[in-house]
Amino acid sequence: MANTPQSKKRARQNERRQDINKARRSRIRTYLRKVEEAIASGNADAAKAALQAAQPELARGVTKGVMHKNTVARKMSRLSARVKALTV
């Protein structure tokens, strides 16, 4: 348990950040799910639009420290390849 005033404040801040980060992660997962569903449906235009909408969210997750840079790069690369395969 936090004892010093500084550690009590940090505990409060951590709780707030946890809620914000959880919401941001959930939002990113929603965008990724939309891309996955569009790919599964076979609709290339919808998949491309969903991917374009997901890219800034993923990038924002990196800048906010919610996701690692390489994780997002890997996800974007794999999703892009799958969307591109639909158009061929």
Look up the pTM and report it.
0.86
Q: What tens digit of pLDDT does each residue of 51-75 get?
A: 999 999 999 999 999 999 999 999 9
Domain spans of the chain, in order of start: 5-87
Helical H runs in the chain? 5-41, 44-63, 69-87
The mean pLDDT of the chain is 95
Q: What tens digit of pLDDT does each residue of 9-36 get?
A: 999 999 999 999 999 999 999 999 999 9
Please state which of the four CATH numbers 3.30.1360.200, 1.20.58.110, 3.40.50.150, 3.30.565.10 is assigned to the domain occupying 5-87.
1.20.58.110
